Amino acid sequence: MPVIPYDTFEAANLFLATGRTPEEVLPLIGLSPAQWERLRETYRWLPYTYGESQRRSYFGGLGDAEILRLVLAPRWNLKPGDEPDLRSTWHVREAVRRNPRIGPFAGCDWPITCIAPHPEATLCCYTHDGRTVYFDGKPLTDRSGEVLEVDAGSFEPVGGRWLRDRHRIYGQGEFGSRPTFYWYVVEGADHSTFEALNLRYAHDRERAYYITAKAIRTKSPEAFEIVPEIRLNYRDGTRDELHDISHIARDREAVYFYGTRLKGARPENFRDLGHGYATDGTTVWFLDEKKVIEGADAATFTVPGPGEPHVLGRVRGHAATDRYRVYVGAELCDPQEWIEDWRPFFEARPDLGGWWWHQLAGEAAGNKGPSP
């Protein structure tokens, strides 16, 4: 298998992603199209150390330290005492994105500017050649596949999946089970006050926006903000507040989920609880179905968190409880059928004495009677 310096690979990849053809680029690195495709599938993952079996196969069984020494050009050689780590190629990639005219491309006069990496698809970046803005080797297109006219020289990210040039604001949407990216003009956006709030929401002085090209008519755009989604990690015992990817937002008047008002939700106290459950202190929702959980006691509603025994649904999802009942999603369950499922949780939480489980577990123990 051919081996080339990693920085040469990144430079070639960048030129190919900015309108240069394989017939122009590949002869400079001595590879056929078939060789390039095999090499690219391995090299592009080096900063992430993904694809270990593929990497081992390509490099003839070498370990990561040996691979790193093989693909680093002399100008990137490790200093004495440095630990070989393939993730260090990330810094090489970023340096090449700033200046790809290295090695066999040092004398190329092909115009190229790396604008920014995509915030999620980090293998891909926005580039331009002075005339056209490219993403992953193709000009930006709208949902119908038509090339979107943008001003290449002033094109830049605003934040998340929101971008702008000197004339307009753009959003990046996607559709399909294997997402196809497209771009659109955010109609009516105020260029001078537009601000990205996360990957999905933005606002300006007049209104708020959701990434599906939806304008949100808010009475308080200045107060529009993200409500973090909660990720409960039982393996490492952490509770993460996910701001950048949250689908939940609020202003002074309402709560929004996927850009749509959540009917009846009070914004001032609204918070995510994890696993799709949320509350405003009075009502509880199962957001995955956009349903109110009827009868749930918001004051005591509990989703077991990291460090506590958690309870899985019998078919799907995670169970939750309050002082009186058991729930899976938006459905009320018969507590009598869940005594053993919840035993580890309530035995670990003696402070919840008097809840439904203690009553039913006590009755069940009494019904068994004394041992013979």
Closest CA to 212 of 228, 199, 194: 199
Please tell me the distance from the alpha carbon of residue 251 to that of residue 219, in angstroms, as a whole number.
8
Please tell me the distance from the alpha carbon of residue 360 to that of residue 257, in angstroms, as a whole number.
37
Whether residues 264 and 299 share a domain: the answer is yes
Whether residues 86 and 121 share a domain: the answer is no
Domain final residue, candidates 79, 110, 141: 110
Range of the domain at 299: 221-368
Whether residues 287 and 274 share a domain: the answer is yes
Whether residues 230 and 350 share a domain: the answer is yes
How many domains, in total, are found in the chain? 3
Whether residues 229 and 333 share a domain: the answer is yes
Tokens standing for residue 171: 């959003």
What is the value of pTM for the model shown?
Answer: 0.89
Whether residues 251 and 346 share a domain: the answer is yes
Whether residues 293 and 168 share a domain: the answer is no
Which pLDDT does position 241 carry in this prediction? 97
Contacts for 318-324: CB closer than 8 Å, 24+ residues apart? 318/275, 318/276, 320/273, 320/275, 320/277, 321/345, 321/355, 321/356, 321/357, 322/284, 322/296, 322/297, 322/298, 323/297, 323/352, 323/354, 323/355, 323/356, 324/297, 324/355, 324/356
Please tell me the distance from the alpha carbon of residue 37 to that of residue 47, in angstroms, as a whole number.
18
List residues bridging with 185 in a β-sheet: 170
Tally the residues of the chain: 372
The strand ranges marked E within 46-137 are 113-117, 125-128, 133-135
Whether residues 89 and 181 share a domain: the answer is no
Please tell me the distance from the alpha carbon of residue 330 to that of residue 370, in angstroms, as a whole number.
39
Whether residues 197 and 233 share a domain: the answer is no
Which pLDDT does position 139 carry in this prediction? 97
Please tell me the distance from the alpha carbon of residue 170 to that of residue 163, in angstroms, as a whole number.
5
Binned average pLDDT, 10 residues per bin, the chain of 372 residues:
95 97 97 96 89 90 90 77 80 94 95 95 92 96 96 97 98 92 96 97 98 95 98 92 97 98 97 98 96 96 95 93 96 95 95 93 65 44
